[in-house]
Structure 1
């Protein structure tokens, strides 16, 4: 059997399979079942920049309200909602998970602009987070906001969070960068330790009957995996950042492909939401059997074996292959 132990973000994991950020964070029993089924680590759902800014504003409102209060009215306090803290419940949950689970627990921050909210990263470290996953997603809607300014702003966020903590910081990216290797180089220079490729977005759709926008949770399929494989295969040996695949992993073969492309860890969410924690045991067994059949005794041997540098037909990763693929499909269609 293949040795599935791995080292991700400086953390020793008994399995590369990680429970990705999801609503499962709110179900301790489900997370315990995931760990029993083979999860090597757990990522909490994100704490959003907007929540943290709201917390800061609540504190300001509390202070301002005291200015205009009669000095003799010592028993007066504003309504409790005024200073309800956005991070307090998250920190309590983090502490609970760290004390209840026998695997590393990674906290998650979601932000797009530099600011005081990044100081909360230190609170996450103090609460016991093994690492922090920083989720970057900045949708450009202003025509004056260029790719350069957007990416520079994101790199400033990365640097700001990294400066706050001594624990590793991993950056979760979208697949929409025009020059991914260059941006990744900037992320590495800013002090990050790892990458998560890629984020999935629950984009709004249209309800034509009600003539309004609506959001629906659409689970991933294995068809979404290739864009992750391509990015990791391209980046392998071109960055020191440790990579985790996220999105489209539903089978052991999916997980094996991610490892062979260069992943150190493989995050799973949709399969868990669809099947429950038992999906992790199934994926683990399937992955182990596949890698063992291929002759690999450890993940270290398998990692990056089919990357851009190591694949026997590396040109398949390149753009020219798209034209060849279409030509082959057209030829097949004419002869059928």
Structure 2
């Protein structure tokens, strides 16, 4: 059997399988079942700064702004402060998960301003988060926003959060950087401890019958995994950041591939949402069977064996393989 314990962000995990950010954050029983099935850690769903701001602005519009419309309004309209519109409920949930689950609980933060990021990051640390996962997603819609400006702004965010907390910070990236290794070097220089590759964005679709936009959650499949494997394999040995694969892990072989490409851990969400906590037990058994069958006694022995730096046919990771693939597609 392969020893599945691993180190991630300075944390000791009994398993590399981590429950990624998902709606399960709100279901303690479901998360406890995941831990019982072998999860090594849990990542909460994101605390969205813009959502908190929107709630506060809505309270002002619909309560405070009406108070001054009538001389007697203050006698029957409550002040907006009586409603909880900040991060309080998220922080209480974090504390409850931390004390109940018995595995590290990582908080997730998705902010829009340097001040908001740092303020909420300190709150998460004070509430007992084992680490913070920063989601960097800055949608460029202004033609004046160049890639250089956007990336510099994101690195400023990483640096500002790292400077404000003492717990490890991991950064969850999109796959859309034109020069991923260079940007990752900037993330490392900013003081982050880890990377999550890659974020899955729920894009709106079109309803042609209603001539409208629609939104729905589409679960991942193993077909999304190769993009993550390529990113991790390319960076393995070129960065000191601990890398986690997120997206497309549905089987033990998927998890084994992530480890062999250089990942420290893997995040699983869609498989759990589709099958329940039993998916983690199945993936664990399949991964252990595969890696032990290959002769690895620990994850450390297997990690990065097929990275771009170590693979016997490393050129397969490179662009030249694209031309060869097209020539031999039949």
Alignment TM-score, normalising by the size of structure 1: 0.92
Match of 2:258 in 1: 258
For 1:112-151, list aligned pairs within 5 A.
Answer: 112-151=112-151
SS in structure 1 of the partner of residue 114 of structure 2: coil
Query: 1:52 Cα deviation (Å)?
Result: 3.9
The answer to whether the 8 A contact 1:112-1:153 is kept is no
Q: CA deviation at 1:165?
A: 0.7
d(CA) in 1 for partners of 2:220 and 2:85?
33
Report matched runs for 1:211-230 at 5 Å. Answer: 211-230=211-230
Match of 1:46 in 2: 46
Counterpart contact for 2:17–2:266, Cα < 8 Å: yes
Structure 2 Cα separation of the partners of residues 150 and 80 of structure 1: 35
Any unmatched runs of 5+ in structure 2?
69-73
Residue 116 (structure 1) shift? 3.4
Contact preservation (8 Å) 1:51, 1:86: no
CA distance in 1, matches of 2:117, 2:8: 26
CA offset digits 1:111-157 (Å, max 9, x no partner) = 24323342111111111100000011111111111000011111111
**Does the CA contact (< 8 Å) of 1:58 and 1:85 recur in 2?**
no
Distance 1:60 1:154, change over 3 A: farther
Secondary structure at the aligned position of 1:172 is classed as: strand
1:307–1:177 Cα change, 3 Å: same
Work out the CA distance in 1 between the residues paired with 2:5 and 2:103. 13
Check whether the contact 1:58–1:82 (CA below 8 A) recurs between aligned residues: no
Aligned to 1:71: none
- Aligned equivalent of 2:71: none
Specify whether residues 240 and 130 from structure 1 end up closer, same or farther in structure 2 by C-alpha distance, changes over 3 A only: same
How many equivalent residue pairs?
Answer: 329
- DSSP 3-state at the match of 1:170: strand
Q: Distance in 1 between matches of 2:95 and 2:202?
A: 28
Q: Which residue of 1 aligns with 2:16?
A: 16
Contact 1:6–1:16 (CA<8 Å) still a contact in 2?
Answer: yes
1:49, distance to aligned residue in structure 2 (A): 1.8
Give the conservation status (yes or no) of the 8 Å contact 2:49–2:116.
no
* Aligned counterparts, 1:33-112, within 5 A: 33-54=33-54, 78-80=78-80, 83-112=83-112
Q: Which residue of 2 aligns with 1:231?
A: 231
Distance 2:58 2:132 in 1: 25
Separation of aligned partners in 2, 1:60 and 1:237: 51
> In terms of mean alpha carbon deviation, does 247-256 or 47-56 score higher?
47-56
Tell me, which stretches of 5 or more residues in structure 1 are unaligned?
69-73
Instruction: Provide the rounded CA distance (Å) in 1 between the counterparts of 2:105 and 2:280.
Output: 17
Does the aligned pair in 1 maintain the 2:47–2:108 contact within 8 Å? yes
User: What secondary structure does 1:115 align onto?
Assistant: helix
SS of the residue aligned with 2:109? strand
Q: Secondary structure at the match of 1:91?
A: helix
* Structure 1 position 51, deviation (Å): 2.8
Q: CA-atom RMSD, angstroms?
A: 2.6
The alpha-carbon deviation at position 164 of structure 1 amounts to: 1.6
User: In terms of mean alpha carbon deviation, does 157-166 or 52-61 score higher?
Assistant: 52-61
Q: 1:59 to 1:163 in 2, by over 3 A?
A: farther
